[in-house]
Copies of this chain bind each other. A is one copy, B any other.
Amino acid sequence: MINKYIFTPGPVKMSDDILAIGAKQTPYFRNNEFSKIILECEANILKITNAPKNSRVLFLTASGTAAMEATVQNLLANDDKTLVINGGGFGQRFVDICKLHQKTYVDFKVLNNNLLDTKYLKEYKNIKNLLINAHETSIGLLYNLNSIGQFCKKNNILNIVDAISMFITDELDMQKFNIDALILSSQKGLALPPGISMIVLTPNAIGKLQAQTSLYFDFQSYLDNGLRGQTPFTPAVTILLQLHERLKQIIENGIKNEVLKAQKIANYFRKSIELLPLQLYNEYMPNAMTTLTPSDSKKASNIVKDLDEIYNIIVTPNGGELKDKIFRVSHMGAMTKEYTDILIDALYDYYNIKRKK
């Protein structure tokens, strides 16, 4: 396959040292040496997310959707009312999962609102669980996790956050944001190959574990095996080795610096394209991604197609009714100003406008 420039929210650009691990022979993993790798991954994730004491991390070999579904299956009692924050495709996915598994839920639709002001939620004080995608990736909307966390704390609500597409690029602090269960995945901000998803469970979330409904996604068995640094079933070993290295790098750089780096890239991109007939789609964008809408008569879907065909650049199209309205540019992963310039220069060339540097 041709190497293209990718600005997609998964897969994202990976660093060369992480890629190099992918070419190593998969080692035997049912031994102490590999257990140490898993235990160090767990400790580093707990540190990076500032998880409360005695929290745990589960490593699933599966995509992010599986982690979302497994979390609903394992943590939600069927009769306890759950509020699903639904701002787009991924919020809708939580709704679909709750429906399929016969959970009692409210589908709370939200658009261009980061929920800083939780007055919108006040009629739902009696709910038991809240499901939210920290960053609704389908349109690039970042919710205010701080206000959501305070609302949950005040009303004794289990706060379950899918942070798959803002982890590493935007602030994520489980204690500050009062998060009880956190869903992560390998192929977005972590900039690893897809295949591993993680769930961080606080003691509070562990206390809510439901009776087993799946063998492969039985959290209790992941918790038990995890004590000795193992998984109940064969994990995606290579990706875990890459995760181990990546987490070490993040700890060394400092998570705050990682977030700052993403913020600088996002701001640089947004500032650099101000002269173009492209507008920011909403007010509450994460550092992870910029969502753009043409302010002239161009169709977003054509821009995506042209960038691919003319410049070998992949940005992210939308489907459905947003197809011609928006496209998305990811800033996740091993991004640099130089790499971002490739897209910026291409856009200026595409619009035949001279870029001011």
Do the beta carbons of A69 and B216 come within 8 Å of each other? Answer: yes
Chain A positions 2-21 with a Cβ under 8 Å from a chain B Cβ? 2-4, 6, 8, 10-11, 13-14, 19-20
- Asked if A28 meets B4 with Cβ closer than 8 Å, knowing A61-B61, A61-B63, the reply is yes
Asked if residues B194 and A26 are in contact (CB atoms below 8 Å), the reply is yes
Contacts of A232 in B (CB 8 A): 65
A22 to B28 CA separation, bound complex (whole angstroms): 17
Residue A273 CB within 8 A of the other chain: no
Instruction: Give A66's nearest chain B residue, CB to CB.
Output: B216
Closest 6 CB pairs of A and B: A22-B22, A11-B26, A195-B236, A23-B23, A66-B216, A63-B233
B215→A26 contact, CB < 8 A: no
What separation, in Å, do the CA atoms of A249 and B157 have in the docked complex?
A: 54
Q: Which residue from chain B places its CB closest to the CB of A62 in the assembled complex? A: B62
Main SS class of interface, A: loop
A25 touches B3 (CB 8 A): yes
Extra 16 A-B pairs, beta carbons < 8 Å, given A8-B28, A19-B25, A61-B195? A1-B33, A3-B25, A4-B28, A6-B25, A11-B29, A11-B237, A26-B194, A62-B62, A65-B216, A65-B233, A66-B233, A69-B215, A194-B234, A194-B237, A194-B238, A236-B239
Is the C-beta of A294 less than 8 angstroms from some C-beta in chain B?
no
**Contact digits for A217-257, partner B, Cβ 8 Å, 1 yes 0 no:** 00000000000000011111111010000000000000000
A212 in the interface, Cβ–Cβ < 8 Å?
A: yes
Binary interface encoding of chain A residues 21-41 relative to chain B, with 1 for a CB under 8 A from any of its CBs, else 0: 011111111010110010000
Number of copies of this chain that the complex holds: 2
Q: Is A193 an interface residue (CB 8 A)?
A: yes
Given contacts A37-B1, A100-B215, contact A193 B26 (CB under 8 A): yes
Residues of A within 8 A of B (CB): 1-4, 6, 8, 10-11, 13-14, 19-20, 22-29, 31, 33-34, 37, 61-66, 69, 93, 96-97, 100, 187, 193-195, 212-216, 232-239, 241, 308, 314
